[in-house]
Amino acid sequence: METNRIRDLVEGCNNLIVKWGNLKRKEGVLIVTDTKVDRQLITAMESVCRLEGANVNTLIMDPPDLPHQEPPDCVSAAMTKVNLVVMCVSLLTAHNVATLKACQAGARFLGVGPSLEAMASPGAKFPADIIFDISCRIESLWRKGKTIRVTCERGTDLSAGINPEHVTEGTCGPLGTRLTEGRPRRGRIGFWEGGFGTVGTWPEWSTEGVVYFDAMQGFSGRLRTPLKVTVKKGKVENIEGASEQVEYFHSIVRRFGPDAAHIGEIMIGLNPKADVDVGLQDPSHLYAHRAAGTMHIAFGNSIDDFITVRPGIHLDNLIIKPTVTIDGAICVKNGRLVVLDDPEIQQKIRDVGINFT
């Protein structure tokens, strides 16, 4: 790997582990990975941990076959014994009971995508303090709202209620600095690939309407036929699209039960340097979900602090250019995160020498 690429990779890992993961000297770190993840990525993360004076151990497990399934018992137990867990596996494994128990034990948790290229990307190096600022502003808008509505040019028209207790910012500050008493995961958990930056909510069982998805987790790239999903009382009632995607959804419900059709998450991306199309090359889509102005909506496990609905699967699906309103106030307009037009945010971006429009 050329020198500049190594520097970019280490800078991305430092932004992840030190600036957002909030790693301190002599803390214990557990990196969990699998045999499909490039060893260079794990080595870079190990090096950053050691340079900070942390005690780091790496555990390699078999690759999961679906996202967010429970890891082996030995992995789950080890996750409760450290200060920081970095879960970097080929399919994201985080919205599960093992992560909940680790957070209840006091660990901070980072779910990290497996792409070496994404870790060295401009999104991965985007300044943490600017993402924190953007996240705080969006979080405040969502927590004050009662209803979220999502539309798009394809015909999406979806609405859901907002309970402020279920608004999950994840990126308002370094992990461990915005803890909420009685909420085991609040301020302790976050997700990363090619950078970070999301705000979302668990809509309980209130989601109603129709949504057209441009991408479905488990399938690379944009869907040739958009996936049309009809939702009633918080659960998928009907799904239309290419036979492969439709059958995949039904197979998930057969395997994990009816709550696998529950709408467990409505979330937008905040990172202005994350590249959607690059992110969609990987079937996990984690990088694409960080991109500012995108929206992903999940079937299955809920993202509240206690994972109240937990069928054992969490399947994300992406809308690339949504319009999102909170009580009528525009948050995203046709894929454009409106807070990025705020002069103060734009000045902060220019001050760090980043070319942004």
pLDDT, one tens digit per residue, over 262-300 is 999 999 999 999 999 988 988 889 899 999 999 999 999
- Whether 24 shows a pLDDT value over 90: the answer reads yes
Amino acid 283: pLDDT: 84
- Whether 357 shows a pLDDT value over 70: the answer reads no
Indicate the pTM of the whole model.
0.93
Domain range list for the chain:
3-123, 127-170+195-351
* Interval 164-174 mean pLDDT: 90
What gap in Å lies between CA 281 and CA 64, rounded to an integer?
19
pLDDT tens figures, 34-76: 999 999 999 999 999 999 999 999 999 999 999 999 999 999 9
pLDDT over 70 for what percent of the chain? 99
pLDDT band, residue 145 (cuts 50/70/90): very high
pLDDT over 90 for what percent of the chain? 90
Amino acid 356: pLDDT: 67
pLDDT band, residue 32 (cuts 50/70/90): very high
Q: Are 137 and 331 in contact (CB under 8 A)?
A: no
Amino acid 1: pLDDT: 61
- Whether 105 shows a pLDDT value over 90: the answer reads yes
Within 13 Å, how many C-alpha atoms sit on residue 222's CB side? 11
* Interval 124-134 mean pLDDT: 94
Query: Which of 113-117, 170-174, 214-218, 329-333 has the lowest average pLDDT?
Result: 170-174
Amino acid identity at 73:
D
CATH placement of domain 3-123: 3.40.1830.10
Strands 147-151 and 108-112: unpaired
